[in-house]
Amino acid sequence: MRFTKNRLRATASAAVAVAMGAAALTALPTTASAAGDGLSVQYRTSATGATADQSEPWFKVKNTGTTTVQLANVKIRYYFKADSASATYRFACSWAVKGCANVTSAFGTLANPTATADRYLEIGFTSGAGSLAPGADTGDMQLRFYRSTWQTLNQSDDYSFGASQTSYGNWSKVTAQLAGTTLWGTAPAGNDPTNPPTDPPTDPPAGGATLFDDFNYSSHSDPKISANGWSVRSNSGGPGVSGATWAPENVTFATTSGNSIMNLETSTAGTGASTEQTEILTQARKFKNGTYAARVRFNDAPKYGPDGDHLVQTFFTINDLTAPLADDYAEYDFEYLPNGGWGETSNILYTTSWETYQADPWVAVNQHTESRQSYAGWHDLVLTIDNSSIKYYIDGRLFGTHDSAYLPERPMSINFNQWLIDFGGLTSSTARAYDQQVDYVLHVKDQVLTPAQVAAKVTAYRSAGTTFQDTVPSS
């Protein structure tokens, strides 16, 4: 069950990645670059040995063009060879002129592995990093990454590593992109970090059993909620802080500009007994392969009261664990932690594909993708599952691709919840509350839709005045 796993996961600083494979990230959608655009990357390393406890690639990104560059549109990639097929890695920023809080990271897997590269570290920036005027650079970014087990790593066979590069200089073995267009560097052969140049068709395929809900309800007690196959949780148990309850009355609905929005409120005064969490889930487990989509608003700040609790805001699909390490378990998560948690010190978004787990002793078999930046605001979340892979999209961009080993064997439910891992070190007894909003949810059975096709399908439902439809057969 999810509550058992996440309660245990919260007890270990890195448990969410105990047994994961590096996830595939793609660059932002390719767009034409303006004629005046240009970037270069300078690199140095402070860990020069062939082997090291951690790799320390330091960078400066320079605007060599004639127009101002927004750093939020810039991605750079450092390519390396994994120390083993199952090796997992962690990133850290030691110092950055732009501020470590404004530097994002993600590890990915190359589509075409070479003798010197099968993984990459992708560095990006939040909007807080600002812009670069022509001729300006980011200043020093002292970055590092290491094996999650802290075993020694081998740098000598890493494509982007330069043992003699002990002072900053231009380095073409690192690539830099601006809004999806590569402007600097050469990737390992066959791995140019760009998306296909043509956009897929936006018309969704005809037919296909579908669940669509616009969450057009009056309150948590509206009889249509149950009639439409949903359950607003009130039973006790995890996840969450010990003693917390699940409060169905805190799932509310409001109309904005003619559109109904569901709100999940989680509140606390710093004790388990004062903590009220929220969850809504489908009564039936009947969803498996196909497309899952939702428009969700994450919030970094509380609606009132002091900030700092370790909060989890989610959209996920799941079935039950029938036995420890049972291989027919499945779970696929979007989990946003606005204040960090599970060993993270600031906001982070996880997408995680679960094969199985064991509660005692704790063993996790999963693959995840992570991004350390703020995701406050509305986001279009899309998950697709076919017979070969699991893919996660955020706002139309491919965020992570997970392997066939994590495909589901049994149908699942669809869930949204918001809960507290812990109080994040806050000792305040002042009441505070956090909101997560949901606009709609969509599932199309056995069809893989692009994000554009999802948007077209939702628009078609709304244009027709359809607020709910469920033609997905019982499993």
For 90-103, the pLDDT digits (tens) are 888 888 999 988 88
Residues 6+ apart with CB under 8 A from 48: 163, 164, 166
Q: What is the rounded average pLDDT of the residues 164-193?
A: 90
Q: CA angle, corner 320, sides to 282 and 384, nearest 5?
A: 65
Window from 200-204, 373-377, 443-447 with minimum mean pLDDT: 200-204
To the nearest whole percent, how much of the chain has pLDDT over 70? Answer: 90
Q: With 60 as the cut, is the pLDDT of residue 25 above it?
A: no
Q: Is 319 helix (H, G, I), strand (E, B) or coil?
A: coil
The model's confidence at residue 266, banded by pLDDT at 50, 70 and 90, is very high
Tokens, residue 275? 């903590």
Q: With 50 as the cut, is the pLDDT of residue 6 above it?
A: no
| Helix (H) or strand (E) run with residue 462 in it | helix 451-463
pLDDT score recorded for residue 15: 31
For 217-241, the pLDDT digits (tens) are 999 999 999 999 999 999 999 999 9
Q: What is the rounded average pLDDT of the residues 7-26?
A: 32
Only one residue has tokens 């006790």, namely: 236
Q: How far apart are CA 319 and CA 305, in angstroms?
A: 35
pTM of the model as a whole: 0.63
Window from 7-11, 150-154, 211-215 with minimum mean pLDDT: 7-11
Contact 89, 148 (CB under 8 A): yes
pLDDT score recorded for residue 202: 52
Q: What is the rounded average pLDDT of the residues 260-286?
A: 97
Q: What is the rounded average pLDDT of the residues 174-184?
A: 91
pLDDT score recorded for residue 197: 33
Q: Is 16 helix (H, G, I), strand (E, B) or coil?
A: helix
Residue 258: Cβ-neighbour burial (10 angstroms; 0-12, 13-18, 19+): exposed
Q: What is the rounded average pLDDT of the residues 319-327?
A: 95
Q: With 60 as the cut, is the pLDDT of residue 60 above it?
A: yes
Q: Hey, which bits of 201-288 come out as E strands?
A: 210-213, 230-232, 245-246, 251-256, 259-268, 276-282
